[in-house]
């Protein structure tokens, strides 16, 4: 194979001879450059094993442009022996070589003339042995065949725009190299540059008041603003009738140049249902509230007396609005944890939310690791605005799920601290109650607690909240008095029992549920009333000791009630 540099150094007569060897037609009128390109193109299509033609054996000399070939001159004696001849690079010695041209072969004359005319002066003299020289071999000092490849442009790293602008010479060289060397350009998998719709994600929608657009908030950040937010356009909100609190799942795309957030491409489901199913849903405010009719079974293990006592004396139904009234250090957080584990075990169809407001961070971690439920928290070291925002988005999420027919349970700890946060955030109305509570501060906590209801024709929202008393704060007493008559289930915890390390520290005589006859069968209800009459004269400590003593030998509440006959 001849490189383009070698062909450019040849005379046009040599090129025409070479073109005839390649059987290239119409070469007499072609200029030198076009003739070179035709030879290169012809080389590219020839098979690799075809031997290249030689033009009077001078083509082999082109591989070593700075070498001279010496020819032995016959000695005057009859005995032939090799002799070295010096060939100079200047013009004076060229005339001497022309005088001996009659005795030299034609290819020696032509090569000497060509090399002497093309080379500059002042080059080194080279002495070569030509006695046994084989003109079919490659020169020893020839440049490596891949030196051009090392310094040539690799078209695989050039963009299509740049590649289209390369000269024809480079493209021809690439084609000839691939065809001549049997090299095939590797084909790689095209990189995926469009990531739209590859990932699906979900979040709780929060609609902005100013622009009509919204964001899907992540549960990992307690539904607050975060880098994981997903932008939802106003057209999507109007098209599907989305509201704040909707749990939306859909395909997303990464942010484009100049954008900050991921964007929602299409909506797959809303609150676990299709967009057609939620299009005609009834707003939460217009749903008909009813008394709880379906009981939440809390009994799990025979030795867990807290949930067994709750099932008997303060049953919880779907749609219950319950309040756990607790003094400090009475085990209210542990009781909430046991209730949550019982609900998640016995009622997997219920969506369980645990909302911790103004709690200690270590209790939040313990709740997340010990309960199979969604835990949303705002610890005591956060601002009151954060408490209010987290509670609001959790309530809206629960309402939207109830609108779609789901059963939701919220365990709130505690409603007293939530009311304190609202009292801090709300603008002053000028009417201050005793204890420093603003007259309008308790309206939103009441709306939160009052959202619990059993809905006609499916769906329910159950809220079990803790209220603090005997903390030494007048504000806590006022808040408790405001919420005292709003619930339909109340569970009193007694400090006397916790001081004796008797858990659960439940004051049985002071605890109960409204309309418990809707949650229990008639026979069980009658036996519970008999128990209440028997324990009415006992104080809280005696009543708890009596119950634990009777329950120790039984595995279930039914077995315990049957044992009352003996």
Q: What is the pLDDT of residues 60-111, one digit of tens each?
A: 444 444 454 454 444 444 545 555 544 444 444 444 444 444 444 444 444 4
pLDDT at 108: 43
Cα maximum dimension of the chain: 152
Question: Of 380, 383, 394, 484, nearest to 448 (Cα)?
Answer: 394
Using only C-alpha atoms, what is the Rg of the chain? 48
Asked if 230 and 253 touch (Cβ cutoff 8 Å), the reply is no
Asked if 201 and 229 touch (Cβ cutoff 8 Å), the reply is no
Question: Of 365, 357, 360, 361, nearest to 416 (Cα)?
Answer: 357
**Angle between the 540-551 and 305-313 helix axes, to the nearest 10 degrees?**
110
Place of tokens 């059993």: 454
pLDDT at 192: 53
What does the DSSP assignment read for 8-40? Answer: HHS-HHHHHHHHHHTT-SS-SS--HHHHHHHHH
pLDDT at 110: 45
Q: Give the containing element (helix H, strand E) for 384.
A: helix 384-403
Q: Give the containing element (helix H, strand E) for 436.
A: none
Asked if 402 and 287 touch (Cβ cutoff 8 Å), the reply is yes
Question: Of 484, 506, 480, nearest to 495 (Cα)?
Answer: 506
Total-model pTM:
0.65
Residue 35: strand pairing partners = none
What does the DSSP assignment read for 262-289? Answer: EEEEEEEEETTB-TTTSTTPPPGGGSPE
Would you tell me how many other CB atoms lie within 10 Å of the CB of residue 26?
8
- Ramachandran assignment for 334, one of left (phi > 0), alpha (psi -120 to 50 degrees), beta (any other): alpha
**Tokens standing for 117?**
């005319």
Residues sharing a CB contact under 8 Å with residue 27, sequence separation 6 or more, in sequence order: 16, 19, 20, 35, 38
pLDDT at 453: 94
Question: Of 290, 336, 356, 341, nearest to 488 (Cα)?
Answer: 290
pLDDT at 161: 46
* Spans of the chain below 70 pLDDT: 1, 47-195, 197, 566
Asked if 406 and 458 touch (Cβ cutoff 8 Å), the reply is no
pLDDT at 8: 79
The burial of 325, by beta-carbon neighbours within 10 Å (0-12 exposed, 13-18 middle, 19 or more buried), is given as buried
Asked if 314 and 513 touch (Cβ cutoff 8 Å), the reply is yes
Question: Of 267, 309, 232, nearest to 545 (Cα)?
Answer: 309
CA distance 50 to 452: 91
Number of H helices, E strands in the chain: 20, 14
């Amino acid at each position: 194979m001849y490189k383009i540099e070698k062909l450019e150094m040849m005379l046009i007569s040599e090129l025409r001879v070479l073109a005839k060897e390649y059987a290239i037609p119409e070469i007499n009128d072609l200029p030198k450059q076009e003739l070179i390109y035709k030879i290169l193109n012809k080389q590219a299509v020839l098979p690799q094993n075809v031997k290249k033609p030689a033009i009077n054996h001078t083509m082999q000399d082109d591989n070593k442009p700075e070498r001279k070939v010496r020819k032995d001159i016959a000695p005057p004696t009859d005995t032939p022996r090799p002799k070295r001849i010096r060939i100079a690079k200047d013009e004076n010695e060229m005339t001497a070589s022309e005088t001996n041209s009659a005795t030299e072969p034609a290819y020696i004359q032509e090569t000497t003339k060509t090399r002497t005319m093309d080379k500059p002066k002042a080059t080194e003299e080279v002495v070569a042995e030509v006695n046994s020289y084989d003109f079919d071999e490659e020169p020893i000092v020839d440049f490596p065949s891949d030196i051009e490849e090392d310094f040539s442009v690799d078209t695989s790293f050039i963009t299509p725009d740049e590649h289209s602008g390369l000269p024809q010479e480079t493209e021809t060289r690439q084609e000839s190299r691939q065809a001549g060397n049997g090299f095939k350009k590797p084909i790689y998998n095209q990189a995926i540059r469009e990531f739209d719709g590859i990932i699906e994600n979900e979040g709780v929608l929060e609609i902005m008041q100013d622009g009509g657009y919204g964001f899907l908030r992540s549960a990992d950040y307690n539904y607050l603003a975060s880098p994981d937010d997903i932008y939802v356009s106003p057209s999507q909100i109007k098209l599907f009738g989305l509201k704040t609190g909707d749990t939306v799942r859909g395909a997303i795309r990464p942010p484009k140049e100049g954008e900050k957030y991921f964007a929602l491409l299409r909506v797959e489901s809303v609150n676990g249902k299709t967009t057609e199913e939620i299009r005609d849903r009834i707003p939460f405010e217009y749903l008909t509230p009813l008394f709880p009719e379906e009981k939440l079974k809390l009994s799990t293990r025979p030795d867990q007396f807290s949930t067994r006592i709750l099932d008997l004396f303060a049953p919880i139904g779907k749609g219950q609005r319950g309040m756990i009234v607790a003094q400090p250090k009475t085990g209210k957080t542990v009781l909430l944890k046991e209730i949550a584990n019982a609900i998640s075990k016995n009622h997997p169809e219920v969506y369980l939310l645990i909302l911790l407001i103004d709690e200690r961070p270590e209790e939040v971690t313990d709740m997340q690791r010990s309960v199979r439920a969604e835990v949303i928290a705002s610890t005591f070291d956060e601002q009151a605005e954060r408490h209010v925002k987290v509670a609001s988005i959790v309530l809206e999420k629960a309402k939207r799920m109830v609108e779609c027919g789901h059963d939701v349970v919220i365990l709130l700890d505690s409603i007293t601290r939530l009311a304190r946060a609202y009292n801090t955030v709300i603008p002053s109305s000028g009417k201050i109650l005793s204890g420093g509570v603003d007259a309008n501060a308790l309206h939103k906590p009441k709306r939160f607690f009052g959202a619990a209801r059993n809905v006609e024709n499916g769906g329910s929202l159950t809220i079990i909240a803790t209220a603090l008393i005997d903390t030494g704060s007048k504000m806590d007493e006022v808040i408790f008095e405001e919420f005292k008559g709003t619930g339909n289930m109340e569970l009193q915890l007694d400090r006397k029992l916790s001081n004796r390390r008797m858990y659960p520290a439940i004051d049985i005589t002071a605890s109960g549920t409204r309309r418990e006859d809707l949650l229990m069968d008639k026979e069980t209800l009658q036996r519970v009333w008999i128990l209440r009459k028997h324990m009415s004269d006992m104080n809280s400590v005696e009543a708890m000791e009596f119950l634990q003593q009777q329950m120790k030998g039984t595995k279930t509440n039914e077995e315990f009630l049957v044992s009352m006959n003996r």
